[in-house]
Amino acid sequence: MKNLKTIVLSNQEISPGYFRMKILAPGYHKMSQPGQFVMFRVQRSLLPLLRRPFGIFRVGFMPADCDNMPAKEFIEIIYKVVGDGTGIMQGLHYGDPVELLGPLGTGFDCGEAATEKILVGGGIGLVPLYSLAEKLVETSQVRLLMGGRTRDDIITVTEFERLGVETYVSTEDGSLGEAGLVTQVLEKKLKEYPQATVFACGPMPMIEAVQKICLQYNVPLQVSLEALMACGVGACLSCVVKGEGHTESDPRYLCTCTSGPVFAAEKLDWDAADVKIAKSGGCK
């Protein structure tokens, strides 16, 4: 992990309200694992003061400028404009100074080679699944189930397909792909591929539904949780969730930023009024 003062390389709208930002990031290729994230801050802005967490979509290299120059290493993040912070981000251009703290957190465990892998992504939850898919396709058959409210929420399909991932799209309003919830598609796929391992990221209601289905079909599941985060390094406790075996008398809290954001499903307490972000407690 390091704090890097760097610059934006590009920042493009890829679907209404969704932006893809490329940031110069030397060292990330070796340092980062699929599922990790960065805390991002705009250097010249006082608002918002805090850093914001963003999953790493991809790590790559720009071609070298000339024979003697090394290729430029970058990361890409994808964000949806939802408030002040992301509102400022959408106005950034090439050369604007930004800060990255990262890579942070615990990423995905790729599991056994040569077994079926099913990725489930809802909206912006798709982001950490891309670098995971890059790794998994080296040894396994990978299927991606992608869901959103409307066609605008379905992003980066082509990138996944270029990796050789079979993709299945569903939208709640039926404007793209199958009409309905991505979890309905998951049930169908688990009937076809009962030996699969499932990896999921998206809004909490989707994650909870995926957990129930995976439990019912008795397949292993890893989830990447989206949480409010202020520090990203286990200091502020703004991101704690209830862990397996949590009770009032024996509280077992886990920091999403350090123990996660990726958790094996069995490590979380799904009964405790859902695995929602707890309001108090400490990290273990």
Nearer Cβ to ligand FES (98/239): 239
Nearer Cβ to ligand FES (209/225): 225
Computed on alpha carbons and rounded to an integer, the radius of gyration of the chain in Å comes to: 19
Specify whether the CB–CB gap between 58 and 75 falls below 8 A. yes
Specify whether the CB–CB gap between 76 and 4 falls below 8 A. no
Amino acid present at 189: K
Nearer Cβ to ligand FES (25/240): 240
**Residue 110: CB minimum distance to ligand FES, A:** 24
**Residue 280: CB minimum distance to ligand FES, A:** 12
For helices 204-217 and 182-192, what crossing angle results, to 10°?
Answer: 20
Nearer Cβ to ligand FES (10/238): 238
C-alpha span between 226 and 257 (Å, rounded):
10
When asked if residue 48 is in the footprint of ligand FES (CB under 6 A), the reply is no
Specify whether the CB–CB gap between 121 and 200 falls below 8 A. yes
Phi, psi (deg, nearest 5) at residue 190: -70, -25
Listed in sequence order, the DSSP H helices in the chain are 28-31, 84-89, 127-136, 157-162, 182-192, 204-217
For residues 44, 52, 161, 184, the Cα torsion angle rounded to the nearest 10 degrees is -150
Q: Which of residues 218-247 bind ligand FES (CB under 6 A)?
A: 229-232, 234-239
C-alpha 102: how far from chain center: 14
**Residue 165: CB minimum distance to ligand FES, A:** 31
**Residue 84: CB minimum distance to ligand FES, A:** 19
Per the omega criterion (within 30 degrees of 0), is the bond before 48 cis? Answer: yes
Q: With CB under 6 A, what is the number of residues at the site for ligand FES?
A: 12
Nearer Cβ to ligand FES (171/259): 259
Q: Of these, 257, 262, 265, 278, which contacts ligand FES (CB under 6 A)?
A: 257
**Residue 69: CB minimum distance to ligand FES, A:** 37
**Residue 83: CB minimum distance to ligand FES, A:** 17
Binding mask 186-225 for ligand FES (x = CB under 6 A): ----------------------------------------
Give which of 11, 52, 51, 56 is closest to 31, Cα–Cα.
Answer: 56
**Residue 239: CB minimum distance to ligand FES, A:** 4
Residue 222, phi-psi category: left (phi > 0), alpha (psi -120 to 50), beta (remainder): beta
Nearer Cβ to ligand FES (107/177): 107
**Residue 77: CB minimum distance to ligand FES, A:** 17
Q: Of these, 38, 133, 142, 255, which contacts ligand FES (CB under 6 A)?
A: 255
Nearer Cβ to ligand FES (128/232): 232
Specify whether the CB–CB gap between 98 and 23 falls below 8 A. yes
Structure tokens at 200: 């999921």
The residues that touch ligand FES, with contacts defined as CB under 6 A, are: 229-232, 234-239, 255, 257
